[in-house]
Amino acid sequence: MDSSLSALSSLKDDNVPLYVQPHYKEAYRLAIYALLCGGTDAYEEFLRAEQISHFLSEQEIALILENAAFPLIEDEAESKADIPDLDLGWPDAPLEETDTSISVLFNPPRQDTPTIKEVVRKQIQDAVQLIAVTMDVFTDVDIFKELVIAALRGVVVYLLLDQTHFGSFLHMSQRLGVSLSEIKTIRVRTVKGLEYRCQSTMKLHGALEQKFILIDCRTVLYGSYSYTWTYEKLNLSMMLVITGQLVSSYDEEFRRLFARSTVPPLLSREKLQPTLYRHSPSSSQLSLHQLHMKNKAMNGIRDDRLNNNNMLTRGVSMQDRLHHFPDMGNLVKGHSYGGELQKLNSMARLRMGTKT
C-alpha cells in the first residue's frame, strides 16, 4: 500500500480540528414530515413550493414510508434498560506502542492470494480468547460452524447482527440444529441503525452496516464483505486485515455497538421452546449426541478438522469451567460504552506502518 495514502489515514499531533459540524437543512426535515403525513404527493408538492431539489432516492422514500411508525410503550421502557455488560469478559490487549499494519484482500482474490472467506475461517480457527463479530447479514454456514467450534473449545464469541436481518441468521442456525442459547460461550445480540424522529413523533431507524471481526483484540478484518454465499461467489468486495495500534479503535467501536444492542425477541422465544438438544436431567453438560440428534446437518459443525469425538466432548465440558482456562487469565470483565467513554488519546499519536 502506498505510504502517502496511508499517511492520510493517520491522526497526527497538529492543530487541525478533527470535528466538523454536521450538515443540516430544516427544509429537508420539513419535506420528510410532509412525506410521512401526506405521502409522495405531499412530498413532491412541498419540494416544488420551496424550490428544493429532490434529495431522496426512490428506494429511500420507500424505506421511510415502510418503516416509519409511532413509538410504542415498550420503546420507552427499552430506552431505560440497563446498559449490557460484556459478561463473558474482554481481553486486555495494550497496543499503544505497536505499529499498525494493513493488508488488503479482494473478492475475487488476486493471483496467488487466499480468498476472504478462507482468511476469515483461519483467523477464527487461530483465536485463543475472543472473537467479536459485527455483521449486517450472516448466513454463511461454514463461517458459522467455525464460530460454534471455537465457542465449544472455550473461546468467547460475541455476535452483533443487524436487527432487520437477524431472522435469516436464526433460521440458518436452526436448520443446522444449533441452539444458540445452549452454548455458554456465545452471546448474540442485535443492533439498530440510527433513529430518526419526525415532528409528528413518528420514528424510523436505519441498519447496522458495519462489517468486521475482531480476534483476541489484536487483529481486525474489516471491509465490504458480508458473511453470505452471494458475497463469496457473486459479489465484488474487499477486506482489510489490520494489526497493531489501529485495532484499538475497532475494539472501542465494538463495545460502543454492544452498549446499544438488545437481545432479539426471536432468540428469547427460542429459549422458551423445548428442543431435543437441551441438557439432560442427569447431566449438567450438553452431550455430543444431543447436539447431533436434532438435525443431521449438525454433523457438519464438527468439520473435517474435528472428527475426534473426544476433542469435541472436551470442548463442551470445558464450557462449565471457563475460569479454569489458562488462556482466559487475561480476560477482564468487559464494560460497554453507555456513559462516559474513555478517550483514546493514543490515537493522536498513531503511527502507521503499512504493507501490501
Question: Cell 454456514 maps to which residue?
Answer: 141
Domain CATH number, residue 119: 3.30.870.10
Rounded to 10°, the helix 58-67/26-50 angle is: 120
Three cell numbers, residue 88: 463473558
CA atoms within 13 A on the CB side of 334: 29
Q: Please check whether residue 54 lies inside any domain of the structure.
A: no
The per-residue pLDDT for 141 is: 98
Taking CA atoms, 335 is separated from 108, 134, 158, 338, in Å, by 38, 17, 13, 9
Taking CA atoms, 348 is separated from 42, 164, 244, 332, in Å, by 48, 36, 15, 26
Three cell numbers, residue 158: 460475541
Domain span at 113: 83-273+316-349
Q: Please check whether residue 140 lies inside any domain of the structure.
A: yes
Nearest to 148 by CA among 167, 127, 118: 127
Q: Please check whether residue 197 lies inside any domain of the structure.
A: yes
Confirm if 102 and 354 have CB atoms less than 8 A apart: yes
Tell me whether strands 101-107 and 237-243 are parallel, antiparallel or unpaired: antiparallel
The per-residue pLDDT for 83 is: 85
Domain count along the chain? 1
Confirm if 65 and 39 have CB atoms less than 8 A apart: yes
Count of Cβ atoms closer than 10 Å to residue 17 Cβ: 6
The number of angstroms, rounded, from the C-alpha of 71 to the middle of its chain's C-alpha atoms is 26
The per-residue pLDDT for 15 is: 61
How far is residue 43's CA from residue 28's CA, in Å, rounded to a whole number? Answer: 10
Three cell numbers, residue 200: 409528528
Confirm if 227 and 137 have CB atoms less than 8 A apart: yes
Q: Is the dihedral of CA 207, 337, 147, 175 positive or negative?
A: negative
The per-residue pLDDT for 351 is: 39
For 263, phi then psi, to 5°, come to: -75, 120
Q: Please check whether residue 6 lies inside any domain of the structure.
A: no
Query: Per-10-residue mean pLDDT for the chain, 356 residues long?
Result: 45 63 88 93 96 95 90 60 88 88 97 96 98 98 98 97 96 95 95 86 90 98 98 98 96 96 82 45 36 41 48 36 42 53 38 42
The per-residue pLDDT for 312 is: 35
How big is the CA angle at 257 (ends 250 and 107), to the nearest 5 degrees?
55
Q: Please check whether residue 193 lies inside any domain of the structure.
A: yes
Q: Please check whether residue 200 lies inside any domain of the structure.
A: yes
The per-residue pLDDT for 235 is: 98
Q: Please check whether residue 7 lies inside any domain of the structure.
A: no
* Residue spans of beta strands (DSSP E) within the chain: 86-91, 101-107, 130-135, 156-162, 186-191, 195-197, 203-205, 212-215, 219-223, 237-243, 331-334
